[in-house]
Structure 1
Amino acid sequence: MLRTTSIFLALAIQASLTLAFPSGPPNSACEDRTPSHGVPPQTSEPPYEFDVHYHDDHFDVAIIADSGAFLGFMMQAVDSNGNLVGHFQPKDSKSQVMTCDHTDDSITHANAEAKDAVYTAFYLPDGLSADGVVVRATVVQNYATFWNNMESIDLGEIDPHH
């Protein structure tokens, strides 16, 4: 009986932890994209990568799993001073925009389903150079395993108007 209770309790805790923020992080994550999971982020290289391309008037930004899926993510674009810039637009149903400093300046997961990739569009404000702008991301593999140190290349390096 004790073993059954222990197994049930462990499964219940894991389920509640996995579903803590199934439809995106709280606003408290805006400052540094760190989940309030009570565990430190991973310091190893993440098993995910950015794929960034310039397309017409925006950047196509994707996070792609090298191996294994992920449950959650949060992306923001920052200038060389660390200020949030631009706005995102989801390109699939796995993503939704979030407002931290200004409208749609962040993008996050829309559900807790496993994802192999997410695709978004990022728009710079008119007149702002892409030089020094990078996309930063946190990717959550599971409740206790996440990376908040992902950073794209400088968008100025791929902007044809550079």
Structure 2
Amino acid sequence: MQLLLFVAVWLQILSTVAGYPNGAPVDRCGNMTPGHNVLPQTSSSPYTIMISNNTFRPNEPIRVMIEGPVYLGVLLQARSSSGTDAIGTWGIPPPNTKYLACSGNGQSAITHSSIINKNNKTIYTWIPPESLQTAFIRATVVANRTTFWINLTSERLTRAPGGGGNTAADAKMAAASVVFLTLLSSMVVQ
């Protein structure tokens, strides 16, 4: 009986020490704080969330990198400037990462799938939705179980002028503009 109690206590300790080696659970989507029973770092983060472009077009991928030392764990989301829900979708997760279904969308976040080192050569791909005007990438980066930073943010992403939307309507508007300019030029010539 004592042996069984000893094993049970050690298993509990090991599960607490390990954190979430297979990725963040869905209940961490909102505040993005790991359940490691340790407070996040308050010092300046050695990690920077880098994006390939500050402007976006709907459905055109934006590359996201985490620059800094190697890291073991990650939770990545895109959020609108006015909300807390994960928005858009992520492309195929890089090795040792996986999708996390935040905000009811199965591909709305990325988390680690193992605690194998990741580095600034690990590239994530975020795909903006049609209805979005501004966004930013938010991340939690875990260096090790007791050392992590939460709510790291990228620079602001802004929809490019003429950045898509209703492409059928845009094509009709462009065709109408050509017809109008052709008629206008023919009237000026006469």
- Using the size of structure 1 for normalisation, the TM-score is 0.79
Q: Which amino acid is the alignment partner of residue 114 of structure 1?
A: N
Q: Does 1:28 align with 2:27?
A: yes
Question: Given that residues 17 and 145 in structure 2 are in contact (C-alpha distance below 8 angstroms), is that contact kept between their aligned partners in structure 1?
Answer: yes
Separation in 2 of the partners of 1:112 and 1:105? 21
Quick one: distance in 2 between partners of 1:106 and 1:37?
A: 20
Q: Aligned letter for 1:73?
A: V
In the TM superposition, residue 149 of structure 1 has moved relative to its aligned partner by: 2.6
Q: Are the structure 2 counterparts of residues 43 and 90 from structure 1 closer, same or farther at C-alpha, using a change threshold of 3 Å?
A: farther
Q: Percent identity?
A: 31
Q: Name the structure 1 match of 2:140.
A: 138
**Deviation digits for residues 117-160 of structure 1, max 9, x if unmatched?**
3311101112422x2x0110000111111100310000118x57
Higher-helix-fraction structure: 2
Q: Which has more radius of gyration? A: 2
Equivalent of residue 62 in structure 1, options 47, 62, 65 = 65
Distance in structure 1 (CA, Å) of the matches to 2:67 and 2:52: 14
CA contact (8 A) 2:77 2:137 kept: yes
Match in the other structure for 1:87:
89
Match of 2:27, SS state, is helix
What whole-Å deviation, never above 9, does each CA across 1:84-129 have from its counterpart, x for those lacking one? 2101123521321110112311111121112223311101112422
Q: Aligned with 1:90: secondary structure?
A: coil
1:73 is matched with which residue? 74
Q: Report if the CA contact (8 A) 2:93-2:99 is conserved.
A: no
Q: Which runs of 5+ in 1 are unaligned?
A: 1-12
**What is the Cα deviation at residue 19 of structure 1?**
3.4
The corresponding residue for 2:36 is 37
Which has the larger strand fraction? 1
**Residues 80/38 of structure 1: CA separation in 2 closer, same or farther (3 Å cut):** same
The runs of 5 or more residues in structure 2 that have no matched partner are: 1-12, 164-190
Number of equivalent positions? 147
Question: What TM-score results when the alignment is normalised by the length of structure 2?
Answer: 0.68
C-alpha RMSD of the superposition: 2.7
In structure 2, the partner of 1:105 is 108
